[in-house]
Amino acid sequence: MHTESYHLAFLLLAGGRSARYGGNKLLSEHPESNLPLVEHSLRVLLNAKTAHTNTQVINCEATVSKVSHKGLFDKTNQVTLVAGKWHESLETQLSHCPVNLVHNTQWEEGIASSIRFGLQHILSVSCSVSETIAPKSNGDNHSGLHGAEHASRTYSPSHLLISLADLPCLTEQDLAHLIQASQNNPDKIVCCEWTAKNRGNETLNGSEARLTVPAIFPKVLFSELFTLEGDTGAKPIIRKYMKKGKVVAIPTPNAQFDIDIPQDWVNVAMPGYRATHED
């Protein structure tokens, strides 16, 4: 696939109930950026997207890049974030960010409903761009802009990157590796591969390699994403196509860490954590 034909949409899922956390985990503070977890995750995705699309970025407020949302991004260029139970608090927290925050009112079904809802939203806002086309010359020296016509071309995503808002260790470089692999293998799913390890970075007994999001899906599989149900996410699709040799798995140790309970933050705050997991 030519680069100009590769259009990647970004979907960040934040529709869970945080039942085990005992509150809204997405507003808990990330120890590295000192931002709420949801904003930290969004910034990582925005930075990866910016590197991919060369979109203009404005930096402000030290620690993490801030991107102005006034006039720089239309709805088709932004990251789409699907919220659920905590929609109102996330909307307030992210009001200054260039993000399409949409409310999945069926969040209680599970993650599958957020995937379907987010993808539907992305497809619904695919933009129609008006292009100016000069008419063929008829020998009239005054023809040209006078006789310009307009034609519309619809731009829709050729691929979809799905990530989760509760992955505190994920980096821009992790996502860049996925995107590059997807561009090199546009007809395949590209996903993260990792093996569960303990705090000493030792593989747990009996632990097998896992294939998970963040993952990138080609357009031909969008219809299958719409068939997902319950709280299993996209794993069934990844497993199905792995058996068919249509999955590229990228080693991504950082994808193994998520936040379910407050104690999970210990993994993120470990001394030397970045040196261990960014190789």
Write down the CATH superfamily of domain 3-277.
Spore Coat Polysaccharide Biosynthesis Protein SpsA; Chain A (3.90.550.10)
Whole-model pTM? 0.81
Distances, alpha carbon 113 to alpha carbons 39, 211, 229, 231, 276, in Å:
22, 20, 7, 8, 35
pLDDT value for 221: 98
Name the DSSP letter for residue 168.
T
What does the domain layout of the chain look like in residue ranges? Answer: 3-277
Q: Which residues of the chain have pLDDT under 50?
A: 55-73, 128-153, 271-279
CB-based burial label for 184 (10 Å; 0-12, 13-18, 19+): exposed
pLDDT reported for residue 204 = 63
Residue pLDDT, tens place only, 119-148: 999 999 875 433 433 444 444 444 333 444
pLDDT of residue 59: 34
pLDDT for 153-192, tens place per residue?
A: 456 899 999 999 999 999 999 999 999 999 999 999 999 9
